[in-house]
Amino acid sequence: MILVKLGVLRLVRYESWICSLGYDREYLVQARQHELLRELHRRGAAIGAFAIPLTYDLAALILNSVRTKDYVKVVEDLSSISPVPLKAMIGRGDTYPKALSNAMELEAFTYPELEEPTAAVHVDLNGYYDLLEREGAYRAYEVVTSLAEKLRRLAFNLGGLATYMGGDNVLAFLPIEAVDSFVARALAEDDVKVGVGVAPTPRRAVALSTEALAAIRRRDVKRRSLKLVLGVAQRDG
């Protein structure tokens, strides 16, 4: 059963472009990469999608319930500002890793639109700022990056895709049937809060997951989760 639709964007001739900038180039490379990623986030959100950076020359766009022609327009817009050509692909599968692995050239994609909801899981580390003040920047960095990697592996093993969002936040997209297992493991292994959003489009699912986290914070209760499905709250745990 097809549950996931992903766009995959790759910068072509990336290494040649980098080498053309000379040796004093790393700050330029970083600035341009972040500029492209910023535009991918903005333009992806405008069509209801959500961007996931993989490597700086490779990114995914969650496209469940998003029209392929809208993705094509995003690709065209990004191509106009990219320093190198973009290779645009699209993939489908019953899990996020399979959809990535199955990605094909956009021109060859002839499948019908996928009207499947998206489940987004937003994980927030409790006590991050206290840790930062108490033990310093390196310890906080170490704890957060370790958590992000652990959750990335957990999401992958459950058929999902996770990314570090900055600060003390990790975002994962999962098949709906895998959400409860992911949440249970995350809560059992680390001192975190978990907001879950399930909605027709990726952007809306992420917004609901953030709204769920905000509701948990307002109640000032640790180690619990909240799921919002199409704007209807359901408590988990």
The DSSP line for 54-66 is EETTEEEEE-TT-
Topology annotation, domain 118-236: Alpha-Beta Plaits (3.30.70)
Domain 4-108 has CATH 3.40.50.300: no
| Gap between the Cα atoms of 189 and 86, Å rounded | 40
Residues 203-215, buried b or exposed e (16+ Cβ, 10 A)?
bbbbbbbbbbbeb
Q: Rounded to two decimals, what is the model's pTM?
A: 0.92
Low-confidence ranges of the chain (pLDDT < 50): 223, 231-237
Residue 156 contacts residue 97 (beta carbons within 8 Å): yes
All structural domains of the chain with their residue ranges: 4-108, 118-236
- Given this model, what pLDDT does residue 225 score? 87
Q: Which pLDDT tens digit goes with each residue over 112-131?
A: 888 999 999 999 999 999 99
Q: Which pLDDT tens digit goes with each residue over 92-111?
A: 999 999 999 999 998 888 88
Same CATH fold assignment for domains 4-108 and 118-236 = yes
